[in-house]
Amino acid sequence: MSKVAALKEMTTYPKVCLDDPKVSATKGTYILVVELDAEQRIHVGSLGVIQFPRACYAYLGSALGGFKSRVKHHLSKDKKQKWHIDYLLSEAKVLQIILCETERRLECLLSGALANELSFVPSFGSSDCSCRSHLYFASDRAYLELGIRSAITEVALPREPFKEMLGF
């Protein structure tokens, strides 16, 4: 089976407008880029208490039901804490949201690409898959964003797509 990802478009939204037709009409995988400005111990549901370093974080998630409701949930201040990321977001600030429009769940492929580049919080956001994590971090935002760009490129444009497609 080919690992070539069906990535239609990647859009970076420094500030997401939930009324934007692009956000409300599309679905796919998203990356939240968040900043924790001080080291903190945070209770994260079933994972317990985690020591988070001061850093910028990239959280990988899917919104195959549509970006609008998922983004709205993540940006809401008054929400029931449902996912691991909700606990971190109660202390961290969302800096950027990257939307990858696709019909498939790509967060596990992106996680595999990021696992070789960045530090991660074990088991965070990945209780429903076999990934090591869906939360990656770096002390430098530019380094984190470079890792994200590299991962998206690797997933969207694998090094040997033609070989796989031709069955070599």
pLDDT one-digit tens code per residue, 71-125: 889 989 888 898 999 999 999 999 988 888 888 888 999 999 999 889 999 999 9
The H or E element spanning position 124 is: none
The total of other beta-carbon atoms located within 10 Å of residue 110's CB is 25
Q: How many CA atoms lie within 13 A of 94 on its CB side?
A: 24
Strand partners, 32: 59, 97
| 121 located within any domain | yes
Residue 24 contacts by C-beta under 8 Å, 6 or more apart in sequence?
A: 18, 66, 67, 68
| 2 located within any domain | no
| 1 located within any domain | no
| 94 located within any domain | yes
| 68 located within any domain | yes
| 127 located within any domain | yes
The total of other beta-carbon atoms located within 10 Å of residue 10's CB is 18
What is the pLDDT at residue 79? Answer: 87
In the chain, what's the furthest Cα-to-Cα distance? 52
Asked if 150 contacts 10 with a C-beta cutoff of 8 angstroms, the reply is no
| 113 located within any domain | yes
| 54 located within any domain | yes
Question: pLDDT tens digits for 112-140?
Answer: 999 988 999 999 999 889 999 999 999 99
Question: pLDDT tens digits for 47-72?
Answer: 999 999 999 999 999 998 888 888 88
pTM for the predicted model, two decimal places: 0.82
Q: What is the span of the domain harbouring residue 146? A: 7-166
Token match 């967060």: residue?
107
Number of domains comprising the chain = 1
